[in-house]
Amino acid sequence: MEMRRSGWRSMIVVMAVLGASCGPSTAGGAEEPAAGAAGHHAGHGMVAPETSGGGDTAPQGAGAAEPLVAAAELAGPPGSPIHGVITFTEVAGAVVVHAEITGVPDAGEHGFHVHDTGDCSAADFSSAGGHFNPAAAPHAGPHDSPRHAGDLGNFTTGADGTGTLDLTTDLLTVAEGPNAVVGRAVILHAARDDLATQPTGNSGARIACGVVHLGGPRP
């Protein structure tokens, strides 16, 4: 044991001497971690543009390979059981709308529109303004032309108060532009949209509202 310890001591002394006398060698050793750190920085540099471009709330999928998506979480006034999720997915030249709503108190058709202003703060949701209508078109059905960009027709609920809706519209975009749906509001009405009465379709009170935000539904 004594021999080995003294042997190690000798080696340590020799290494210390070599290290002290061999400046360039130690500098070279120090360069390795520095290069590693530079590599990490390069890696962050590659990732940073994507994350900052997408923003904090945008999904990683906001990158080029994934579709551009916006969503709204629909809710009634305080105490209302109505809850819904509406997604807007941009495809080539159009937006696919998918809506799932639960807790609607009655079965049947309910006017369903994108309204101009993304503000659901008023108790009667009047803060959402009128139908989103950037082209100053007449109110009509979701497959008519001309029509409001926000004319999504009627949302049909069953006896259990739930329903789904799928439609494709070429009058909305998720991307920025005059027809952008982000920052608007989705409104569900108490009554059926007759698809004719100007400018509202005579669909009655607003019973649920949701602001459209960029990115998928929030948990």
Residues forming the site for Cu ion (CB under 5 A): 113, 187
Ranked by CB distance to Cu ion, the top (closest) residue is 113
Question: Between β-strands 185-189 and 206-214, what pairing exists: parallel, antiparallel or unpaired?
Answer: antiparallel
Cβ proximity to Cu ion, 187 vs 211, nearer residue: 187
Q: How far is the CB of 171 from Cu ion (least distance, A)?
A: 15
The 10 Å Cβ neighbour count of residue 215 is 20
Q: For residues 115 and 187, give the distance between their C-alpha atoms in angstroms, rounded to a whole number.
A: 7
Cβ proximity to Cu ion, 113 vs 213, nearer residue: 113
Cβ proximity to Cu ion, 85 vs 195, nearer residue: 195
Query: DSSP of 141-184, one letter per residue?
Result: -TT-SS--TTEEEEEEE-TTS-EEEEEEESS-BSSSSTTB-TT-
Cβ proximity to Cu ion, 68 vs 101, nearer residue: 101
Residue 208 tokens, joined: 């649920």
Q: For residues 192 and 37, give the distance between their C-alpha atoms in angstroms, rounded to a whole number.
A: 63
Q: How far is the CB of 146 from Cu ion (least distance, A)?
A: 17
Q: How far is the CB of 188 from Cu ion (least distance, A)?
A: 8
Burial zone of 198 (CB within 10 Å; 0-12 exposed, 13-18 middle, 19+ buried): exposed
How far does CA 112 lie from the centroid of its chain? Answer: 21
Are the C-beta atoms of 80 and 103 separated by less than 8 Å?
Answer: yes
Cβ proximity to Cu ion, 132 vs 180, nearer residue: 132
Q: How far is the CB of 154 from Cu ion (least distance, A)?
A: 11
Cβ proximity to Cu ion, 68 vs 211, nearer residue: 211
Q: How far is the CB of 193 from Cu ion (least distance, A)?
A: 7
Q: How far is the CB of 80 from Cu ion (least distance, A)?
A: 17
Name the amino acid, one letter, at 155: F
